[in-house]
């Protein structure tokens, strides 16, 4: 089935509200546990690593990371004003959590991370993203951003949806995973599955970007995990 792109940014307040109110806690927990597994043997996590969460949305994953790795400086990056507003509002409501003091949100497009002038050039110890890559129309800009912002040896963990083979499979996954969900969420989830990439496509982008140490795995019925490090 051919890829059908969707809007890159999630800016519609109703769409943001539906996303923020949805309960993705199981998949978020699984993502952060897998990240913990990946980071287990890295001693720099004992110091003050810089962790970037790309396409952070309302901050679901950024918050979990900041709570789990309390010495880390965590930046959540998203180019949707509405998402960043909601993320900052949630942070403000939780301002007694000391772990959130080292969590900062930035409104920024991933494409701006590809330039020499990028605020994060060669800075990141760890780079993560969850459910972002399918939004980006030109995936080569995403992988070139990863190289630009990584320190030598930076660890990467990216999880995204995987495009099914047929539209029937899309509907099947949607029905299995979104029971009694608001219409807007069902619409967006369907659009996201159609906009997602296959493992083979992602392997091709990584090879074209000249990245050697990122591996691509199928995860469950609908995810792709991209795990490894970038040396430069
Ligand atoms: C499906 S949400 C995922 C949010 C969050 N990572 C999570 O797991 O809950 C995708 C987010 O990526 C953001 N996004 C998409 N393309 C982007 C780009 N080119 N630059 C910055 N943010 C982008 C959207 O605005 C949206 O907030």
pTM for this model (two decimals): 0.97
Ligand 1 center to 63 CA (angstroms): 15
Structure tokens at 5: 């792109």
What residue owns the CA closest to ligand 1's atom 4? 57
Give the model confidence (pLDDT) of 128-158 as tens digits: 999 999 999 999 999 999 999 999 999 999 9
What residue owns the CA closest to ligand 1's atom 10? 132
**Nearest in space to 228 (alpha carbons), one of 86, 107, 216:** 216
Strands of the chain (E only): list them: 50-54, 73-78, 103-107, 124-130, 150-161, 214-219, 223-230
- Report d(CA 213, CA 147) in Å as an integer: 12
Highest mean pLDDT pick, 41-50, 90-99, 134-143: 134-143
pLDDT at 178 over 90: no
Give the model's pLDDT for residue 54: 98
- Report d(CA 91, CA 59) in Å as an integer: 9
pLDDT at 97 over 90: no
Please indicate whether residue 55, judged by its CB atom, sits closer than 6 Å to ligand 1. Answer: yes
Structure tokens at 90: 């949630």
Query: Would you place residue 45 in the very low, low, confident or very high pLDDT band (cuts 50, 70, 90)?
Result: confident
Ligand 1 center to 65 CA (angstroms): 16
The helix (H) or strand (E) run that includes residue 109 is none
Ligand 1 probe mutation, 10, 127, 139, most atoms within 8 A of CB: 10
Give the model's pLDDT for residue 186: 94
Q: Positive or negative, the Cα torsion across 25, 214, 52, 13?
A: negative
- Report d(CA 80, CA 40) in Å as an integer: 32
Q: Which domains does the chain have, with CATH numbers?
A: 13-230 (3.40.50.150)
What residue owns the CA closest to ligand 1's atom 12? 55
């Amino acid at each position: 089935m051919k890829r059908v792109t969707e809007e890159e940014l999630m800016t519609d307040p109703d769409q943001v509200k539906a996303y923020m109110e949805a309960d993705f806690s199981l998949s978020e927990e699984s993502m952060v546990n897998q990240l913990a597994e990946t980071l287990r043997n890295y001693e720099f996590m004992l110091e003050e690593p810089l962790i970037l969460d790309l396409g952070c949305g309302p901050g679901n994953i950024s918050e979990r990371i900041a709570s789990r790795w309390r010495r880390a400086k965590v930046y959540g990056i998203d180019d949707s004003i509405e998402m960043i507003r909601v993320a900052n509002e949630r942070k403000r409501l939780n301002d007694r959590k000391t772990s959130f003091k080292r969590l900062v949100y930035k409104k920024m497009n991933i494409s701006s991370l590809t330039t020499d002038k990028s605020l994060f050039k060669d800075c990141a110890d760890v780079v993560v993203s969850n459910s972002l890559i399918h939004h980006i129309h030109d995936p080569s800009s995403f992988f070139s951003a990863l190289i630009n912002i990584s320190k030598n040896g930076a660890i990467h963990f990216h999880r995204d949806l995987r495009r099914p083979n047929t539209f029937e499979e899309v509907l099947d996954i949607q029905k299995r995973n979104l029971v009694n969900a608001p219409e807007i969420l069902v619409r967006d989830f369907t659009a996201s599955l159609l906009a997602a990439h296959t493992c083979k496509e992602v392997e091709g982008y990584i090879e074209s970007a000249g990245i050697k140490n990122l591996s691509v795995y199928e995860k469950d019925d609908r995810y792709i995990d991209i795990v490894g490090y970038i040396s430069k």
